[in-house]
Amino acid sequence: MKKCPFCEEQIEDMTSKCPFCGSKIEVENTEGDIEISGEDSQLMTDNRMSTSQGDQEGRNPLSNGFKVFITMVATIPLIGQLVGIIMAIIYMNSEGDTDRKSFGKALLIGTLVIFLAVCLCCIAYFVFVFYFMEQMGPEIFEQFQQ
């Protein structure tokens, strides 16, 4: 076992990517010393600023249309919100890609807000159904069930 140079969690000796912080790690010599790849060496600062080079090479930013589409999907009760959470987590774990991380964060916040709103709306739905059941009589309620 060895320590990740970025988050200092215990990781396997031969792993090339830390499972906790997602940083790339290269193991070069036989004594097991950890060496950092050149594009990641600039991460060894006190501020731990994310690299903008290695992880973003060849990766296009998300289009606004795609972001709007995913956001609209996330408004669909239950299924849409589960999709929204999973997509948000995928993007939030994209270390080094600020566009995806930023969108993922906003998407997760929006999805959680919609989750709570849907739970509260169930109360209103319940009240309306009870009201119409009482007012319109059992015949209408049977038609509603059909």
Q: What CA–CA distance (Å, rounded) separates 13 from 127?
A: 59
Q: CB of 107 within 8 A of CB of 88?
A: yes
- Of 113, 115, 60, 53, nearest to 82 (Cα)? 115
Q: CB of 115 within 8 A of CB of 81?
A: yes
86 vs 140, beta carbon nearer other proteins: 86
Binding residues for other proteins, how many (CB under 8 A)?
48
Least CB distance from residue 46 to other proteins, whole Å? 11
Single out the residue of 69, 72, 98, 137 in contact with other proteins (rule: CB under 8 A).
Answer: 98
Residue pointed to by tokens 């948000």: 88
Q: Is 125 in the site for other proteins (CB under 8 A)?
A: yes
Q: Which residues, 37 to 66, sit near other proteins by CB under 8 A?
A: 43, 47-50
Q: What CA–CA distance (Å, rounded) separates 140 from 108?
A: 40
Write out the residues near other proteins by the rule CB under 8 A: 6-7, 9, 19-23, 43, 47-50, 77-78, 82, 85-86, 88-90, 92-93, 95, 98, 101-102, 105-106, 108-109, 112-113, 115-116, 119-120, 122-131, 145
